[in-house]
Amino acid sequence: MKHFHIFSSLIILIFISLQTQAQTERVIPSDNYNYTENDTAAEYFEKGNYYFDKGRLIQAEKYYKLSIEADSEFVEAYDNLGLTYRHMSELDSAAKYYQISIQLYPEGDMALQNLGVVYEKQKRYEEAIDIYTKLIAQNESNPEGYYGRARMYIFIEEYDAALKDALIAEDIYKAMESKYVMDAHYIIGLIYYFLDDVENSKLYLLKAKDEGVDVPQSLLDAVGADTNPR
């Protein structure tokens, strides 16, 4: 396969698509988090959630900060403030509050996972790999560590390592019956493309497309995938 034949159109589309995948809001249960016992902090936190859900990020930022002022150890308020800054594209601030969350509650997956996403957006891929490695060490049953690290390995062109992690993520997503298995199928197909394994690339890309992933048509054409109904 000649990668350079389609470099100008395909590779740009691939990485734009990868960035879109990375921004997916993934739900992680927070049952292990200790909710604040401070009524004022809880009230401000719920107001922050209300405004965040409405897309009113300035107001959400205000109330999450007030919640933290009322209870400086309220981990979920730091996490949600970090997420608010992510949506505001204030990535340094997002990283700051995720790091505080990790200091307060090192066992929590939420801040680690989202800090990895922030580093990815900042193109700090090696640091993101370190974060996802910590997430894996902390919770081997969480597929997001493997999925996130696989994406980072793609960006630094470590395709064998990326494939290993992506296949592990696929297995865990399948066991969980998670809809996010489609994202794993997409990046596995992409990795096989870069490894010049056309047949496996085609297999996984078509699987991802059938599951609802918006696979770039240029990539499907490159592996000879017939997507026309017969």
> DSSP characters for 87-131?
HTT-HHHHHHHHHHHHHH-TT-HHHHHHHHHHHHHTT-HHHHHHH
**Predicted local confidence at residue 189, as pLDDT:** 94
Specify the higher pLDDT residue, 32 or 223: 223
Residue with more model confidence, 230 or 138 = 138
Which H or E run includes 163? helix 159-176
Instruction: Looking at the structure, give the CATH architecture of the domain made up of residues 32-139.
Output: Alpha Horseshoe (1.25)
Enter the tokens of residue 44.
């401000």
Least confident of 117-121, 144-148, 223-227: 223-227
pLDDT value of position 105: 93
Burial of 104 (0-12, 13-18, 19+ CB in 10 A): middle
Which residues does 65 contact at the CB level (< 8 Å), separation at least 6?
A: 81
Superfamily of 140-229 according to CATH: Tetratricopeptide repeat domain (1.25.40.10)
Write out the two tokens for 205. 């890309």
Q: Write down the pTM of the prediction.
A: 0.86
pLDDT at 11: 54
What is the pLDDT averaged over residues 85-90?
95
Please state the domain extents for the chain: 32-139, 140-229
Same CATH fold, 140-229 and 32-139? Answer: yes
